[in-house]
Amino acid sequence: MANTVIIGAQWGDEGKGKIVDLMSEHSDVIVRFQGGNNAGHTISVAGKKTILHLIPSGILHPQALCLIGNGVVLDPQVFLEEVDALVSNGVDASSKRLGISYKTHLILPYHKALDAARESARSKDKIGTTGRGIGPCYEDKASRIGLRAGDLARPELVKAKVERALSEKNILFTHLYQREPMDAAKIADELLSLAPRLLPYLKNVEEEVSRAKMAGKKILFEGAQGTHLDIDHGTYPFVTSSNTVASNAATGSGVGADVLDTITGIVKAYTTRVGEGAFPTELFDSQGAFLQKNGHEFGATTGRPRRCGWLDCVILRASARLNGLTEIALTKLDVLRGLEKLKICTAYKYQGQEISYPPQGEGTLGEVTPCYEELPGFDEDISGIRTFNALPANVRRYVERVEELVGVHIAYISVGCDRDATIVR
């Protein structure tokens, strides 16, 4: 059976949570492979919403084993809060079906403090991070001074590592950012007080995934953020601090790349972005306001309003290439209802030339002008439709045109936030 990687093809919030939940019904193992609680994945079942930041979006399906891979950065407090919230809603979030890799790096209070201090010091040059300490935690991983989940069993190591990390960071806090120094012993003690609850969740994730692969079980890899927030391939420096592209599903869960069969790119039927950075098709008029209102475009993590704009097939073409997309799930198509015309960006004008891929070089995406094609809109309520052929002609035309422009088959069409509001083609 085919294993599937789910990734965001735009700037995040494409509806990955919904599609992972949907596909989890027929999956045995679901693995988160990068990012942390900067993510906010919303699942809606029979009108009941569940928002997950760290725990894989397959958790509502009792048969699924949910794993957090080595590529994730995990805030221990947030993880436990999420477990408690699920349990209070009657979901089994025990270590029988939920695991964290020994190699997963931990987000500590000084990562969050550094994230906040940097952002406020950058002032108008800020990245617009979620403030969850994601960047500083990945920095410590790359600097080889990070704490990993497996360290929790060794109190002396935890204390030494926290002390070591703070010996540098306190100089930044006090000298550069004019903040109070942080207390290493207190931070280590607080972390160690959570260890008894966290340790049972530790698993050899790479072995679990490999065993599932050998047994012919179906594995679903859940990405966070989106392709254009990728640390290498996104709109640097306005990106997150991990690789969000599909190939990182292998690295971030500790398996060989041969396990990745189907690569599903989640594409919102228009574009949104939270935080700073270039956004060629952004709308500043009543149409942008329409998308924000009808699409309820407010961040699930920080509550910030999401910037909205037309669908951009140039960035989608790049996503198809960077991820090796084998199919697309097109979400939030219902939100476009009521717009008289639907615009699709087919190419950019850049330095007097028409280009079909984003230009290379920092800041260059901010210098392009989008070239649009206009399609007729639709007025019908499509949220109850469950087959492609039953969709109004103008809706089918939009879907087929996107497919043509991006060059990837649209296999799923989502017409409402609920699990059931999906057309499988």
Selected binder of ligand GDP within 3, 4, 5, 8 (CB under 6 A): 8
Give the shortest CB-110-to-ligand IMO separation in angstroms. 15
101 belongs to the binding site for ligand GDP (CB under 6 A): no
Give the shortest CB-13-to-ligand GDP separation in angstroms. 4
8 belongs to the binding site for ligand IMO (CB under 6 A): yes
Selected binder of ligand GDP within 4, 10, 17, 358 (CB under 6 A): 17
Could you say which residues in the range 239-268 bind ligand IMO, by CB under 6 A? 240-241
From 172-180, 188-196, 242-250, 408-416, span contacting ligand GDP (CB under 6 A)? 408-416
Number of residues that bind Mg ion (CB under 5 A): 3
Number of residues that bind ligand GDP (CB under 6 A): 21
Q: Helix H segments across 172-311?
A: 184-198, 205-214, 248-251, 286-294
Q: In this structure, are strands 327-331 and 307-309 parallel, antiparallel, or unpaired? A: unpaired
Selected binder of ligand IMO within 3, 5, 13, 316 (CB under 6 A): 13
**Binding partner of 335, given Mg ion, ligand IMO, ligand GDP, none, CB within 5-8 angstroms per partner class:** ligand GDP
18 belongs to the binding site for ligand GDP (CB under 6 A): yes
> Which H or E run includes 111?
helix 109-122
Give CA separation, 192 vs 87, 156, 197, 198, 367, in Å: 23, 10, 10, 10, 49
From 28, 41, 53, 233, the catalytic residue: 41
Number of H helices, E strands in the chain: 11, 20
Q: Which is nearer to ligand GDP, 326 or 414 (CB)?
A: 414
- Residue 321 three-state SS: helix
Instruction: Single out the residue of 221, 286, 278, 228 nearest to residue 247, CA to CA.
Output: 221
Selected binder of ligand GDP within 111, 332, 343, 419 (CB under 6 A): 332
224 belongs to the binding site for ligand IMO (CB under 6 A): yes
d(CA 212, CA 207): 8
What does the DSSP 8-state code read for residue 46? T
- 309 is written with which tokens? 């704009």
- 5 is written with which tokens? 């990687």
Q: Which is nearer to ligand IMO, 271 or 326 (CB)?
A: 271
- Residue 375 three-state SS: strand
CB 69 within 8 A of CB 33: yes
Q: Helix H segments across 176-251?
A: 184-198, 205-214, 248-251
Give the shortest CB-121-to-ligand IMO separation in angstroms. 15
Q: Which is nearer to ligand IMO, 269 or 274 (CB)?
A: 274
- 355 is written with which tokens? 């280009």
Q: Do you find a cis peptide bond into 376, omega within 30 degrees of 0? A: no
Q: Is 28 a catalytic residue?
A: no
- 160 is written with which tokens? 């030494």
Q: Is 115 a catalytic residue?
A: no
d(CA 394, CA 401): 10
**Binding partner of 222, given ligand IMO, Mg ion, ligand GDP, none, CB within 5-8 angstroms per partner class:** none
**Binding partner of 205, given Mg ion, ligand GDP, ligand IMO, none, CB within 5-8 angstroms per partner class:** none
Phi, psi of 359 (to 5 degrees): -70, 155
Phi, psi of 232 (to 5 degrees): -95, -45
Phi, psi of 396 (to 5 degrees): -60, -40
Selected binder of Mg ion within 8, 40, 99, 226 (CB under 5 A): 40
- 412 is written with which tokens? 């799923």
Number of residues that bind ligand IMO (CB under 6 A): 22
**Binding partner of 309, given Mg ion, ligand IMO, ligand GDP, none, CB within 5-8 angstroms per partner class:** none
d(CA 34, CA 48): 27
**Binding partner of 417, given ligand IMO, Mg ion, ligand GDP, none, CB within 5-8 angstroms per partner class:** ligand GDP
Give the shortest CB-391-to-Mg ion separation in angstroms. 26
d(CA 119, CA 139): 15
Selected binder of ligand GDP within 331, 343, 347, 406 (CB under 6 A): 331
Give the shortest CB-205-to-ligand IMO separation in angstroms. 20
Contacts with ligand IMO by CB under 6 A lie at 8, 12-13, 38-41, 127-130, 132, 134-135, 224-226, 229, 240-241, 274-275
Q: Which residues bind Mg ion (CB under 5 A)?
A: 13, 40, 300
| Residues forming the site for ligand GDP (CB under 6 A) | 8, 12-18, 40-42, 44, 300, 331-332, 334-335, 414-417
- Catalytic residue IDs: 13, 41
